[in-house]
Chain A
Amino acid sequence: MIIENSLPILLSRLDFAWITSMHILWTPMTIGMSWLLFIMEVAWLRTGNERWYKLNRFVEKIFIINFGAGVATGVTMEMAFGILYGPFSQAVGPFFGNILGFETITAFMYEAGFIGLMVFGWGKISKGMHLFATFNVGLSSSLSAMWILVANSWMQTPDGVVLKDGLFQVTNWWNAILNDNFQWGFPHMWVATVELALFVLVGLSGFFILKNRNADLFTKLLKPALLALIIVTPLQIFIGDSIGRVVAHTQPTSLAAMEGHYHTYLPDGKVNTGWHLIAIPNAKNDGNVFAITIPHVLSLLETHTLNGKVTGMDSFPAKDRPDVWVPFYSFRVMVAIGFFLFFIAIWGNWLRLRGKLNATELRKRPWFLRALVFSAFLPYLAIWCGWWTREVGRQPWVVNGLMRTYQGTSHMPVAMEIIWWVGYIIFELTVWAGSWYFFTRVIKKGVDGIPDSSTLFDHDHADAADVKAGGGHVTPTFASKPMLRSDR
């Protein structure tokens, strides 16, 4: 048996997989949506059109619940490397530790500083300062994604280091940071966050138009969002294909697992060029029990020739082969979602070309609107699947080809691993259920309760004007009406 699949190591993998999966539910929305909030704010300031202000404030309410959940799960994430993978953290410290340190210092703290101003600063700071805060939330969260992808990509294609005295010591920082996987891996993740945020907006629009609440307002939002998606969705497919080819070159075992490709050659000695639509791997992980196979497609995809050789799992010793189930199916689900979302973008823009993007016409097409609402959930699943493909495909290595997962696992008893897992299942499912429940609350309340932007600087603190804060140092600014938290 592969050590990585023994109970103690499998549990530590599950422990970490769970907290990662529950963290990546939140951060993509923060990263992508912060830029969309920025764009809406710019649109409001430039055109003076009140609808962009209202949409911004409405989406911001969802954004901040999402952000809270992201921080809650993210603090755990940061400590979990040391708790669950202590020896890994020690060995990779000279590079990976530095990068995570960069992330917390240049991105996490940076973001936390500005997000308070963005959410609670309306009417307290000038419009220009507020826009600056929103911009910085966008920049800092994207920076954060960049550092995290540097760290994770380096685990896929570790470059620029030598293993000396048990530590991965850096010999070339540029090679380590701009490693092969990062060059396409980061764009793939970043575009995914934008795509997710756009589909959340589009889904919200679909829902409101379907319910005939503020239908005109949300049609105005739908139009530019669909236009952006006709660029973003095919771009993401292109980037996805590019990262796929990087994986094929740098992580052949991962690619073989993603494709359920066990045999480099067929029994008759010819190159195995078949691509499996569906496959059921056998228990020994050395072949498929059942598969629906299309010849030549795999070679076409990976080598762009009809009969090119693609290295199969049988070219590697059994102990170095990853599990096939997870990478094979999560990869397919991700790709299917990518194409489905592209199709939705085409559908929407086809309606635009025929001049149907107005509330009356759209409401005659409830299936389109329902498809939009459905599509808001799909990017979440696609991101999960992509990350699972990446992480399970790299097994049994934690640092590809250099350090095995069991070597990086912390010293802990199985009972503790189970307690950790069960505890985090309870806590993070509560976070998830709570956040999504309160999303529905915000959506139910809708846009109508949001006061006009003209009330923003309409200060009135008669009831508190004579009270000096901090024992007489400053004048209070709390009581201004538009800043009531019920506005959020």
Chain B
Amino acid sequence: MDLLSIGRIAGTLTTWWWLLLSLAFFLYIATDGTDLGAGIFAVFSKDEEERGAIMASMAGMWDGNESWLVVAGGVLFGAFPLVYGSAFNYLMIPLMFALWGIIARAVAFEFHIHAKKSKRFWGWAFAVGSLFATFFAGVSLGATLQGFPMKSGLAMQSGLAAHGVFAQDYTTPVMHFSGGILDFLTPFSIWTGVGAVIAASLAGGLYLCARFIPGDSIHERARAWTNIVSLLALAAIVVTLIWSYAIFPWAAAKWTGSDWWIWLIWFIIVLIFAFKSSTNHSVRKDFSAMMWGIGVVALLWAAMWATIFPYVVPNTWTIVQAANPADSIAVFTLFMTGFFPIMIMYNWYQIWVFRGRFSKKMAYGAH
């Protein structure tokens, strides 16, 4: 029975995990993107009360949201360890900065409440940390799309040789990252960093509009902010698409290949979602505006993953090359898949419990 051959099942399961990986990353972007964007908004807050109110508005949810990033990391390690062990090595610098941003904002949430004299400091740590985390996450994404060089053998060979140490013969067929530490840094990856900041700023603006009472100073400032950033975001999408088309042959081949009309329809749907978000926003249906906005992200994210298929990292790791042995992927599937709906359920329940609108005064008073 060809249908039941181990290789075939493993291949299918691996593709399944590739989809779940994309889902985990998407849930991270969709949930924590708003938190990060609100943090970027807070960079421009004039007073500490506003920053405090923004932080208080996400107090019960941010750690659940941020955990999707850890889940995505866990899925990557569990299903695609070959990618995990090489891509993170390649992305050492941007991940380091993004993690510092995440650390700064994670502790700022707790410290800001208790601080008296240092409130300003922790408020800034939250805001700047959000900006850093978003920018460097965007850089990491752009850098990953570009792929990276690899070879087999001892990874630390050159580092050891530079210090006059010569290791015994060590051979392994596993391909590890072999490029330079600054390979990630290109105009495109810097642009995707900027693009991530713009996208998060829009999500943050929509979130703050939905989270604070109309007429409240934060709500009104977030409105103006959203109006400007939405135009920037539209421009950023177009620039990113054109740039990607120019430098990524694998993307160009798909977008203008024989299935070009699917991509065109998809793009039109994206525009419709963006339009719906903007019309809802203008009549102050803020929650709907935010959901349509997240819909735009979902569509673009799905399109990106469809474009890189069958790769996990374009031109570097295909799904099949990067997968764990059949046995491990089967065990991972058996025990872990069921947790996804459960995780989504309780993350949703958590957000549901803490729903509702704030005013700046209420939030800050409660802070």
Partners in one complex: yes
Q: Which residues of A contact B (CB under 8 A)?
A: 1, 3, 6-9, 12, 64-65, 68-69, 71-76, 78-79, 81-83, 85-98, 100-106, 108-110, 112-117, 119-121, 124-125, 165-167, 169-170, 173, 406-407, 409-414, 416, 420, 423, 427-428, 430-431, 434-435, 438, 441-442, 463-464, 467-479, 483-486, 488
Contact residue among B63, B159, B335, B358 (Cβ-Cβ distance under 8 Å from A413): B159
In the complex, whether B339 has a CB less than 8 A from a CB of chain A is yes
Query: Please, which residues of chain B bring their CB within 8 A of the CB of A6?
Result: 160, 163, 165
Consensus secondary structure, chain B interface: helix
Q: How far is the CA of A475 from the CA of B159 in the complex (A)?
A: 60
Which residues of the partner chain A approach B81 to less than 8 Å between Cβ atoms?
A: 89-90, 92-94, 96-97
Interfacial residues of chain B within 97-137, with CB under 8 A of chain A in the complex: 99-100, 102-104, 106-107, 109-111, 113-115
Q: How far is the CA of A86 from the CA of B83 in the complex (A)?
A: 9
In the complex, which of the residues B156, B287, B324, B365 contacts A411, with contact meaning CB atoms closer than 8 Å? B156
Report the Cα distance A97→B213, complex, angstroms. Answer: 45
| Beyond A6-B163, A109-B347, 7 extra complex contacts between A and B, CB < 8 Å | A9-B156, A79-B73, A89-B85, A93-B77, A411-B177, A469-B356, A478-B358
**B contact residues around A124 at 8 Å (CB):** 353-354
**Majority DSSP secondary structure for residues of A touching B:** helix
Q: A3-B167, A485-B113 are in contact. Are A76 and B99 (CB under 8 A)?
A: yes
Interface hits, B315-367 → A, CB 8 Å? 324-325, 327-328, 331-332, 335-336, 339, 343, 346-347, 349-350, 353-359, 362-363, 365-367
Cβ contacts under 8 Å, A9 to chain B = 156, 160
Whether A83 lies near B89 (C-beta < 8 A) is: yes
Known: A93-B82, A97-B81. A469 touches B92 (CB 8 A): no
Cβ-defined contact, A64 with B155, below 8 A: no
Report A-chain residues with C-beta under 8 Å of the C-beta of B154. Answer: 406-407
CB-defined contacts of B95 to chain A, threshold 8 Å: 79, 83
- Interface status of B210 (Cβ within 8 A of chain A): yes
Chain B residue nearest to A434 in the complex (CB): B111
Q: 9 pairs across A/B with beta carbons < 8 Å?
A: A82-B85, A94-B327, A101-B332, A406-B156, A406-B160, A407-B172, A411-B159, A472-B285, A485-B56
**In the complex, per-residue mask of B44-64: 1 if CB is within 8 Å of any chain A CB, else 0:** 000000000000100111011
**Min CB gap A445→B, angstroms:** 9
B96, A420: Cβ atoms closer than 8 Å: yes
Q: Give the shortest distance, in Å, between B127 (CB) and chain A (any CB).
A: 16
**A165 (CB) vs chain B CBs: closest residue:** B173
| CB neighbours of A409 from chain B (8 A) | 155-156, 159
Distance (whole angstroms) from the CB of A230 to the closest CB of chain B: 34
CA distance A90 to B328 in the complex (A): 13
Complex contact A477–B339 (CB within 8 A): no
Question: Given A6-B160, A414-B159, A427-B103 in contact, is the A120-B362 Cβ separation under 8 Å?
Answer: no
Interface residues of B in 293-329 (CB under 8 A from A): 324-325, 327-328
A478 and B85 alpha carbons, distance in the complex (Å):
44
The residues of B that contact A103 with a CB separation of less than 8 Å are 74
| A71 lies within 8 A of B66 (CB) | yes
Closest 8 CB pairs of A and B: A93-B81, A101-B78, A104-B74, A470-B287, A82-B88, A476-B356, A89-B85, A90-B85
Query: Is B181 interfacial (CB 8 A cutoff)?
Result: yes
* Chain B residue contacts of A169, Cβ below 8 A: 325, 327-328
Q: Which residue of A has the minimal Cβ distance to B87? A: A82
Query: Are A65 and B114 touching (Cβ within 8 A)?
Result: yes
B324 touches A97 (CB 8 A): yes
A475 / chain B contacts, CB cutoff of 8 Å: 356
Is B67 in contact with A112, judged by CB distance below 8 angstroms? Answer: yes
Q: Is the CB of B210 within 8 A of A98?
A: no
Nearest-CB residue, chain A, relative to B57: A478
B287 lies within 8 A of A471 (CB): yes
Contact across chains for B163 and A105 when beta carbons are under 8 A apart: no
Q: Whole-angstrom distance between the alpha carbons of A422 and B88 in the complex?
A: 19
B residues neighboring A (CB under 8 Å)? 56, 59-61, 63-64, 66-71, 73-82, 84-89, 91-93, 95-96, 99-100, 102-104, 106-107, 109-111, 113-115, 152, 154-156, 158-160, 162-163, 165, 167, 170, 172-174, 176-178, 181, 210, 213, 280, 284-289, 324-325, 327-328, 331-332, 335-336, 339, 343, 346-347, 349-350, 353-359, 362-363, 365-367
Q: Point out the residue from B103, B162, B176 that lies within 8 Å of A72, measured CB to CB.
A: B103
Least CB separation from A407: chain B residue: B170
Q: Given A71-B66, A104-B73, A471-B288, are A90 and B82 also a contact pair (CB < 8 Å)?
A: yes
CA of A124 to CA of B354, assembled, Å? 8
- Assess the A78–B85 pair: CB atoms within 8 A: no
Given contacts A8-B160, A108-B70, A438-B114, contact A102 B107 (CB under 8 A): no
In the bound complex, how far is the Cα of B179 from the Cα of A416, in angstroms? 14
Residues of chain A contacted by B152 (CB below 8 angstroms) = 166
A94 CB contacts on chain B under 8 angstroms: 81, 324-325, 327-328
- Please state if A72 and B177 are interface contacts (CB–CB under 8 Å): no
Inter-chain contacts of A75 with B (CB < 8 A): 66, 69-70, 99, 102-103, 106
Complex contacts, B288 vs chain A, CB 8 Å: 470-471
Out of A406, A441, A470, A488, which one reaches B210, CB within 8 Å?
Answer: A470
With contacts A8-B163, A100-B77, A470-B287 taken as known, whether A86 is within 8 angstroms of B86 at the C-beta atoms is: yes
Q: Decide yes or no: A105 and B343 within 8 Å by CB, A97-B324, A169-B327 being known contacts.
A: yes
Chain A residues with Cβ under 8 A from B339's Cβ? 105-106, 109
Query: Do the beta carbons of B79 and A173 come within 8 Å of each other?
Result: no
Q: Cβ of B96: which chain A residues have Cβ within 8 Å of it? A: 83, 420, 423
Do A98 and B332 have beta carbons less than 8 Å apart? yes
A458 to chain B, nearest CB (A): 15
B165 touches A3 (CB 8 A): yes
- Contact yes or no, B89 A64, CB < 8 A: no
Given contacts A469-B287, A469-B356, contact A86 B176 (CB under 8 A): yes
- Among B96, B158, B289, residue most surrounded by chain A Cβ atoms (within 10 Å): B96
Q: Which of B110, B324, B332 has the most C-beta atoms of chain A within 10 angstroms of its own C-beta?
A: B110
Chain A residues whose CB sits within 8 angstroms of the CB of B60 once the complex forms? 116-117, 119-121
Contact with A105, one of B71, B85, B156, B286 (Cβ below 8 angstroms): B71
Flag if B74 contacts A78 (CB, 8 Å). yes
Q: A85: nearest residue on chain B (CB-CB)?
A: B85
Rounded to whole angstroms, the CA-CA distance of A108 and B69 in the bound complex is 11
A8, A68, A104, A414 — most chain B CB neighbours (10 Å)? A104
A485 and B177 contacting across the interface, CB-CB below 8 Å:
no
A225–B113 alpha-carbon span in the complex (Å): 30
Q: Are A406 and B167 neighbours in the complex by a CB distance under 8 Å?
A: yes
Instruction: Given A98-B332, A101-B336, A109-B71, answer yes or no on A410-B155 (Cβ-Cβ < 8 Å).
Output: yes
Contact in complex: B73, A78 (CB < 8 Å):
yes
- Set B77, B286, B289: member contacting A101, Cβ < 8 A: B77
Q: Is the CB of B107 within 8 A of A434?
A: yes
Q: Complex formed: what's the CA distance from A124 to B350 in Å? A: 11
